[in-house]
């Protein structure tokens, strides 16, 4: 049973190797928060809404989002998320290989908390782990 206000992490990423690497970094960094994985924006929305036979992801949660995915990419996911009254205030960090200024502007215009460039996976894993450890220690989340 999870603690009542434990922050759930949803990682939306289609690259299985990247998912595995980040998951290993979380374990090594002793991030014990529950982590769920979705392979594209459609699957992530189903998890957040509890639709299509999926259980609803418990709140509070934080979303790590890739931009370049099949079916529904990260920007499309963010647009859909921000239109949904129940989900629009979700905390989202982008983790992408795209260094395009246009992608960064779109992401920030859609209210992301941060944009992390996946340039060197080993560094990104360590930096993301450090960021989340500090974020969860400093930021207060409302009760679910």
Rounded Cα gap, residues 120 and 106, in angstroms: 23
Residue 23 confidence class, pLDDT cut points 50, 70, 90: confident
138 in any annotated domain? no
Give the angle subtended at the CA of 22 by the CAs of 19 and 99, to the nearest 5°: 80
Which position has the higher pLDDT, 136 or 35?
A: 35
Question: What's the predicted TM-score (pTM) here?
Answer: 0.84
Q: Provide the 8-state DSSP code for 102.
A: H
Which position has the higher pLDDT, 29 or 69?
A: 69
Pick left, alpha or beta for residue 119 (phi over 0 → left; psi -120 to 50 → alpha; otherwise beta).
alpha
β-bridge mates for residue 93, sequence order: 64, 114
What domain range includes position 113?
Answer: 8-119
> Residue 70 belongs to a domain with what CATH number?
3.40.50.2300
Domain count, the chain: 1
């Amino acid at each position: 049973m999870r603690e009542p206000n434990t922050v759930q992490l949803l990682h939306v990423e289609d690259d299985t190797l990247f998912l595995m690497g980040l998951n290993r970094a979380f374990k090594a960094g002793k991030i014990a928060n529950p982590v769920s994985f979705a392979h594209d924006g459609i699957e992530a929305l189903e998890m957040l809404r509890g639709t299509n036979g999926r259980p609803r992801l418990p709140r509070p949660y934080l979303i790590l989002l890739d931009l370049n995915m099949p079916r529904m990419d990260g920007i499309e996911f963010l647009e859909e998320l921000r239109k949904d009254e129940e989900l629009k205030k979700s905390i989202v960090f982008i983790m992408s290989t795209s260094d395009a200024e246009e992608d960064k502007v779109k992401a920030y215009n859609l209210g992301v908390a941060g944009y992390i460039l996946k340039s060197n996976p080993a560094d990104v894993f360590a930096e993301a782990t450090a960021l989340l450890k500090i974020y969860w220690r400093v930021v207060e989340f409302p009760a679910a």
